[in-house]
Structure 1
Amino acid sequence: MEAGPRDTAPGGEQLSTDGPEASADGVIADGPTAEELAAQDEGQEVEVELRPQRRLRIWQLAPIVMLAAIGSLMFAFPLFFEFGGAVVAMLGLLISSCAAGWGMMAARRVGYTLPGLPPRGSGRWPDWRVVGAYVVVVAAVAVLAVWRVARLR
């Protein structure tokens, strides 16, 4: 048994020994031919993303949704049915806020951003008007919620 590259085919015929240095332009013709390239160019190419899209999975969403549902029910029942009082409503508001923050952090890890804000890692700064609008909306919702719970007494 011999070691090293083979120079004869199994039938005994001599194999070609032309390498890159033996060809005219130093390139081995082992790729597609010009006819194959032309036929490939005529057809439609479909680009497929090899990496899976980054999205929130069910195991990430389920605890957030359950926590938000429990918190919103704890907040709503004292307000509508006068059952439980201000302490239960405030605890429900706290749980709902925690679920919202948890959801925002999970979404940020996946790469989602709030509308109007630049994507994470883009190097751009957010517009101060958009950030100001978000701060005003969140502050207004928090003030109205605390005001409504305070009126339960």
Structure 2
Amino acid sequence: MAMEAGPRDREQGRRDVADSASRLSPDGPDEQDVIADEVEVELRPQRRLRIWQLAPIVMLAAVGSLMFAFPLAFGTGDGGAVVAMLGLLISCCAAGWGVMAARRVGHTWPGLPARGSGERPDWRVIALYVGVGAALVALAVWRVARLR
């Protein structure tokens, strides 16, 4: 013999639903209802420069700077200016390679917005970078020209 639910059973079911609804906040369950062992983990690895990317850049920069500095410091013969300019060229190539590698992993120059952020760079920061770069190149060329 099957029993049918009467009016009292229906009201009890409605009260249970109302009690459980009062525990819910507008944006989901209360903090007590959430499992405390959940931890968010970034699935993608962090993008950073690896040793195999840095080693050739550092070696080229060291060789180039030694080639640039040695003739300037010790003033070796007629070929010193050529060796110094070649060292400057190698150092600049290593610096450019390092900047491109750093940009590829997401680093930016200080004062400039992150790549893809949609912000425009400040013209004063760009002017500062261009001015410092031009001054360094002018000093290097002037020093090499004085070797002769």
TM-score range, shorter chain: 0.7 to 0.9
Runs of at least 5 residues in structure 2 that lack an aligned partner in the other structure = 1-23, 25-30
Partner of 1:134: 129
Match of 1:85 among 76, 80, 83: 80
Match of 1:68 among 61, 84, 94: 61
Q: Which has the higher contact order (CA 8 A, sep 6+)?
A: 2
Q: Which deviations, in whole Å up to 9, do the C-alpha atoms of 1:56-95 show, x marking residues without a partner?
A: 1111100000000000000000011112510000000000
Q: 1:44 and 1:138, CA in 2 relative to 1: closer, same or farther beyond 3 A?
A: farther
Q: Any residues of structure 2 matched to 1:4-153 within 5 Å, and which?
A: 38=32, 40=34, 43=36, 46-83=39-76, 84-153=79-148
Amino acid at match of 2:51: I
So what's the TM-score if we normalise by structure 1? 0.71
TM-align CA RMSD? 2.0
Tell me, in whole angstroms, the C-alpha distance in 1 between the residues paired with 2:121 and 2:84: 35
Deviation at 1:44, TM superposition (A): 6.9
Q: Which deviations, in whole Å up to 9, do the C-alpha atoms of 1:34-61 show, x marking residues without a partner?
A: 9xx72645x4754322111100111110
Tell me, in whole angstroms, the C-alpha distance in 1 between the residues paired with 2:38 and 2:128: 44
Aligned identity (percent) is 77
Amino acid at match of 1:38: Q
Tell me, in whole angstroms, the C-alpha distance in 2 between the residues paired with 1:77 and 1:152: 12
Runs of at least 5 residues in structure 1 that lack an aligned partner in the other structure = 1-33
| Secondary structure, counterpart of 1:140 in structure 2 | helix
Aligned length: 118
More helix by share: 2
Tell me, in whole angstroms, the C-alpha distance in 2 between the residues paired with 1:134 and 1:111: 19
| Secondary structure, counterpart of 1:105 in structure 2 | helix
| Secondary structure, counterpart of 1:50 in structure 2 | coil
Amino acid at match of 2:91: S
Amino acid at match of 2:62: A
Tell me, in whole angstroms, the C-alpha distance in 1 between the residues paired with 2:66 and 2:37: 53
